[in-house]
Amino acid sequence: MSARPARPRLSADEYVRGVEAGDRAILARAITLIESTRPDDESLGQEVLSRLVPRTGNAVRVGISGVPGVGKSTFIEGFGTLLTERGHKVAVLAVDPSSTVTGGSILGDKTRMQRLAADPNAYIRPSPSAGSLGGVARRTREASLLCEAAGFDVILVETVGVGQSETAVAGMVDFFLVLMLAGAGDELQGIKKGILEIADLIAINKADGPNLQRANRAAREYQAALHYVRPTSPNWSPPVLTCSALTGHGLDAIWEKITAHREALSASGELEAKRRDQKLRWMWSMIDEGLRDALRRAPGMVERIARLEADVRDTRTTPALAANEILGALGMGAGRPWTS
């Protein structure tokens, strides 16, 4: 059996025209291009992205996080379908730094969200396949811009990983939605304060059938807890709503809050300022990532870094001295520059 011939490489003009025309196949190839770590792909990808950026900025960017078992994929399908029925075009992306181990839950969610996946006004993109949180978050940001340039006016960014991934997603969206379950009495004891601090709305999912009363009680308890947390904006107090992704209850109310949040922050100028700050943080995160990559690619540095990490773990040196020696590879820090 003969090997399938390689697809011809597209030019920057072909990528730009295809994305602007909303061509799904070319959009998918453009996202694959900006995910690539090959130098020639990176150069072409950035050229394409820079030419498409003027077509971005008008979409509603929503981050979605949730505790395990909260029904996130069912929620995204129901919520996304509600929006497409209202005339919106919805793109679903993911941030998953753990995908080298798990494969990324959105990979499975795409098969479970069959109705949304088949919707001509929706686009579901699996999580990048590998990388550190910084690298994965960068690719997701750039993928969201490509989707905006292709005409999608609502971008749903799902956080699949744990820990800092929620903060990474909050740093690239306009609105951060946290899904919770009923049973807040115990959950409030262990909930991460950091999640409450970045939430623009908390939704208690699975508020249906015999669980409805528990969901309403949980909503009251979460709302009380939010009184002790500083809101993300002086122009917005995070509400707590109940919803059922299964029945559709409450999904329209969530969209109304997202719209109200956008109107409030746009009127105050805060939304524009927030997006400017996000771009600056994006720049510095790429610098951080680039410096780490440059250090690791330098001849002999893989072994040196491994030795210094072992020395720090075993208290043979201090973190500061180890950092200075590593920074010396770039002529920085108090240590002398490293040479091979």
Angstrom distances, CA of residue 195 to CA of 74, 88, 167, 187, 301: 21, 28, 8, 13, 37
Domain range spanning residue 196? 56-267
Pairing relation of β-strands 122-124 and 60-66? unpaired
Same domain, 19 and 96: no
Residue 126 to residue 70: CA distance in whole angstroms: 20
Q: Is the pLDDT of residue 101 over 50?
A: no
Same domain, 23 and 82: no
Is residue 198 a part of any domain in this protein?
yes
**For the segment 33-92, what is each residue's pLDDT rounded down to a tens digit?**
998 888 899 999 999 999 999 999 999 999 999 877 888 989 999 999 999 999 999 999
Same domain, 158 and 42: no
Percent of the chain with pLDDT over 70: 82
| pTM assigned to the model | 0.85
DSSP symbols for 283-333: HHHHHHHHHHHHHHHSTTHHHHHHHHHHHHHTTSS-HHHHHHHHHGGGT-S
Q: At what angle do helices 251-268 and 72-85 cross, to 10 degrees?
A: 70
Q: How high is the mean pLDDT of the chain?
A: 85
CA dihedral sign of residues 312, 317, 318, 319: negative
The contacts found for 276-280 with CB under 8 angstroms, 24 or more apart, are 278/171, 278/172
Domain count, the chain: 2
Same domain, 91 and 226: yes
What are the φ and ψ backbone dihedral angles of 23, each rounded to 5 degrees? -70, 115
**For the segment 300-320, what is each residue's pLDDT rounded down to a tens digit?**
888 899 999 999 999 999 999
